[in-house]
Amino acid sequence: MSGEDYLQGQVILIDKPLNWTSFQVVNKLRWIIKQQFNLKKIKVGHAGTLDPLATGLLILCTGKFTKKIDTFQAQQKEYTGRIVLGATTPSYDLESAIDAHYPTDHITLDLIENTLKKFRGEIDQKPPKFSALKKNGKRLYDMARAGEEIEIPSRKVTIHEFEITEFTSMNLDFRVVCSKGTYIRSLAHDFGKALHSGGHLSMLRRTKIGTYSVENAQQIEEFIASLGSSKPNF
């Protein structure tokens, strides 16, 4: 692979590590490609943000292929993860501390399965207040952290598949296949609310985007090694 190949366009599948932002992955790979092939500049973008606390498939496009990003973003996505019942957090995940506890004695597998039915198909969903969406030119998470009151309109998303793969000690392991624009953190929050127990996301991994699978993705270190670079200095 040459620098010209990356300028003409490549699709790179990365297994995003925990605690990295999607933007950090893009910056790292852009810098590595520029250094390796002595390029003054090259376009690199990702096709769908993953939160820092999420891992899994991140599709990156280089050069002229950055024009294809919208096509990738429009495809359905598959995730696996864990919902913890009985407590909520303002961010709907572990980014913020628990703000309320709720009873869980009433929760049974039958109740969970019956509640799942309400979350399949087209549903109304509000994005989390702690998200990168903008309102009046400001990021929602900046407004939330500043303590501003935010009214977020709901929007339609489609949940193609939603199943519980394991249920132990109020931890619900799940798999979900959903449309573009779905927030899994909101799904976890809303599902806990529907169970009258509260809930938040404690783990998330994106496993597929369209026909692309995380099984075919590289770790960042593996990609760097494939370019013939020396060991990265993180």
3-state helix, strand, coil in the chain (%, to 5): 30, 30, 35
* pLDDT the model gives residue 132: 61
Assess whether 51 carries a catalytic annotation. Answer: yes
Token output for 68: 């294809």
* pLDDT the model gives residue 119: 97
Mind listing the domains of the chain with CATH numbers? 3-74+212-226 (3.30.2350.10), 77-209 (3.30.2350.10)
Token output for 101: 């506890």
33 neighbors 6 (Cβ within 8 angstroms): yes
* pLDDT the model gives residue 180: 92
Nearest in space to 33 (alpha carbons), one of 51, 58, 60: 60
- In angstroms, rounded to a whole number, what is the distance separating the alpha carbons of residues 125 and 103? 24
3-class DSSP state of 113 = helix
* pLDDT the model gives residue 128: 82
84 neighbors 170 (Cβ within 8 angstroms): yes
Q: What does each of the 234 residues of the chain score in pLDDT, given as a tens digit?
A: 899 999 999 999 999 999 999 999 999 999 999 999 999 999 999 999 999 999 999 999 999 999 999 999 999 999 999 999 999 999 999 999 999 999 999 999 999 999 999 999 999 998 887 666 666 666 666 666 666 667 778 899 999 999 999 999 899 999 999 999 999 999 999 999 999 999 999 999 999 999 999 999 999 999 999 987 444 444
57 neighbors 207 (Cβ within 8 angstroms): yes
Q: Residues 5, 15, 51, 190: which is the catalytic one?
A: 51
* pLDDT the model gives residue 130: 67
192 neighbors 88 (Cβ within 8 angstroms): yes
Kindly report the pTM of this predicted structure: 0.90
